[in-house]
Structure 1
Amino acid sequence: MTQEGCLIIAGLGLHPGQCTLEARAALIAADIVFVQAGEADMLAWVRELNGRTLSLQDFYAGRATRLDAYAAMAEAMLAPVRRGLRVCAAFYGHPGVFVSPSHIACGRAAEEGLLVVMLPGVSAEDCLFADLGVDPGQSGLQSYEARDFFVHARQIDATAPLVLWQPIVVDEAALSGFNSRLGAIRALAAALMEIYPPSHEIILYEAAVRMDESARIEKLTLANLERAQFAQETTLYVPALRGPALSTSRARLMKRLLAEDNC
């Protein structure tokens, strides 16, 4: 009987200490492992668990665009599944967050009737919650990729924290070199100052990618954003400007509907 192939898409966390027991078991049991890791140490660690490990980083070479590379990665992940092999594709952080190849592979697998499962992983957002003491259950949260926030003029609620991912690529031209241009950051700051005052304190955050490192937590005012140093992994956290106001109209609605229930 032919073995049914499957694709397990797993999150590695930001360093080996954050890899879940579930993801680790999938890595060990796989016939072949594909890895997109943030650090060389992570790739080496995965290869210790399973010697049949290939790096997805190699798929960027010789391809005109990132989308071409992502499509090639997805096809490479699915090809052995079609042959009946158990494949684990492991990605830095959470495999469903800012990971296009995993979503492309899931879509193709669904079309072809192939078995695919995604396992969650510790993401940069999870680390941000822990390092900055943010509880979205108490304060709410707005989260956007920085360029998406800028070009679509997202409507922001100043009573809830705002997280902007990858501000370094808010300028599309910066995608090739990860060196955000000063004008692009100035434009992002100007868009934020339509909502917040220049004196509003913000935080540049970078999660630790090794167990022996600390996160980068740099506080500055919005007016000084253009002077800040950005890396590919830098995240911008904007605290709420003020607390939310109670809705008297909704309070009246609740009171009326509760009264009707008691009739």
Structure 2
Amino acid sequence: MTTRLYVVGLGMVGCNQLTDEVTVALDRSDRIYLLHPHDIVAEALSDRFGTVVRLGSEYEEGQPRSAAYDRIVDRVVDAAVDADSPVALATYGHPTVGVTPTNDIVQRAEGAGVDVDVRPGISSLDAMYVDLGLNPFETGLQMFEVNDLLLRELSLNPSVPAFLFQVGTVGSRLYTARPNAPERFTRLRRYLERFYPSDHEVSLVRAATLPFESGAIESFELSAFESMADAVHPSHTLYVPPARSDGPVNEGYLESLHSRDRLDEITTDRDE
């Protein structure tokens, strides 16, 4: 079956992080439906690949984000069904990380008999590992969408780094470009104070999205969250570093990890 819809991630830094497989997909596409906030990215894609259709206009002030997602899904799937040549949905970052409409687009398109090819990109999380100097294999990791965390009242482990995504949208599922009031962050601050001391330092992190930018990190004490209201953007992630460092609990397992005798017990010779 011939691919009729590509769903691809552009990476975070404009068009500088396009992978080879994403470039091939865009080259093959007759039109690119674009979810990206920057005009310069739309212009670069248009110059390089042809027709670009921007989808940001589907968001309406004070209206549910879900309604915009539904319109985006309809436009992209209808285009894929009707097109004689492949079309593409291109998103910032990774197409299935924090981009809500993509899963619905894939399901709807496949249900309509459209062959879909999803190709990954560098996500904001990948960029933040670098910006923060964090190796999740050494520390472990907790990651939540901020409203989902509060809805489910999930417990946080204060010995493991935590990422709270889309912190600038906390408290509402409605789209807005209006500035934040300090009260927007009170519930979240109080919730975090169940697990962390009020003077614990947290950070607003925003990965670079254009070639001339650098990743931005702004740190503050948890108790001062409301005072940061003007600085918080919907794309910000809240990074909460560990409040304590827990050593190994199972000393016997630690010892076995460095034991040749234990290695011999859990492996075999290939000839056996």
Question: Does TM, normalized by the shorter one, top 0.5?
Answer: yes
- Rounded Cα–Cα distance in structure 2 between residues aligned with 1:203 and 1:213: 18
Structure 1: where are the runs of 5+ without partners? none
> Of 219, 233, 247, which residue of structure 2 is paired with 1:231?
233
Residue 90 of structure 1 corresponds to which residue in structure 2? 90
Contact 1:168–1:178 (8 Å) recurs in 2 = no
TM-score normalised according to structure 1 size: 0.87
Superposed counterparts of 1:152-167, under 5 Å: 152-167=152-167
Instruction: Find the aligned partners of 1:216 and 1:46 in 2 and give their Cα distance.
Output: 25
Match in the other structure for 1:75: 74
Cα 1:212–1:27 shift into 2, 3 Å: same
**C-alpha contact 2:203 2:239 (8 A) present in aligned 1:** yes
Pick closer, same or farther for the CA change 1:143–1:173 going to 2, 3 Å: closer
SS in 1 for 2:53: strand
Aligned-residue offset at 1:8: 0.6
Judge conservation of contact 2:64–2:173 (CA < 8 Å) in 1: no
Indicate the residue corresponding to 1:11 in structure 2.
9
Q: Which runs of 4+ in 1 moved over 6 A?
A: none
Q: 1:248 aligns with which of 241, 250, 271?
A: 250
Q: Is the 8 A contact 1:168 1:231 kept in 2?
A: yes
Aligned to 1:146: 146
How many percent identity over aligned positions? 26
Against the structure 1 CA distance between its residues 119 and 5, is the aligned structure 2 distance closer, same or farther, given a 3 Å change threshold? closer
1:180 Cα shift?
Answer: 3.1
- Confirm whether residue 214 of structure 1 aligns to residue 241 of structure 2: no
* Distance in 2 of aligned mates of 1:223 and 1:169: 19
Superposition map of 1:126-137 within 5 A:
126-137=126-137
CA distance in 1, matches of 2:224, 2:65: 32
Which residue in the other structure is 2:45 paired with? 46
Please report the TM-score for the alignment, with normalisation by the length of structure 2. 0.85
The aligned amino acid for 2:196 is Y
Deviation at 1:219, TM superposition (A): 1.7
Q: Report what 2:185 is aligned to.
A: 185
CA change 1:62–1:97 in 2 (3 A) is same
Structure 1's 231 and 53: CA in aligned 2 closer, same or farther, altered over 3 A?
A: same
Give the Cα–Cα distance (whole angstroms) in 2 for the partners of residues 33 and 142 of structure 1.
34
Relative distance call for 1:118 and 1:250 in structure 2 (3 A) is: farther
Post-superposition offset of 1:173: 6.7
CA distance in 1, matches of 2:198, 2:153: 19
Judging changes above 3 Å, is the alpha-carbon distance between structure 1 residues 250 and 227 closer, same or farther for their aligned structure 2 residues?
A: farther
- Counterpart-to-counterpart distance in 2, 1:222 and 1:129: 21
RMSD over aligned Cα atoms: 2.8
Cα distance in 1 for partners of 2:155, 2:97 equals: 22
The AA in structure 1 aligned to 2:110 is A
Aligned residues: 259
Extract unaligned runs of 5+ from structure 2: 267-272
Q: Identify the range of structure 1 (108-117 vs 63-72) with the bigger mean alpha-carbon deviation.
A: 63-72
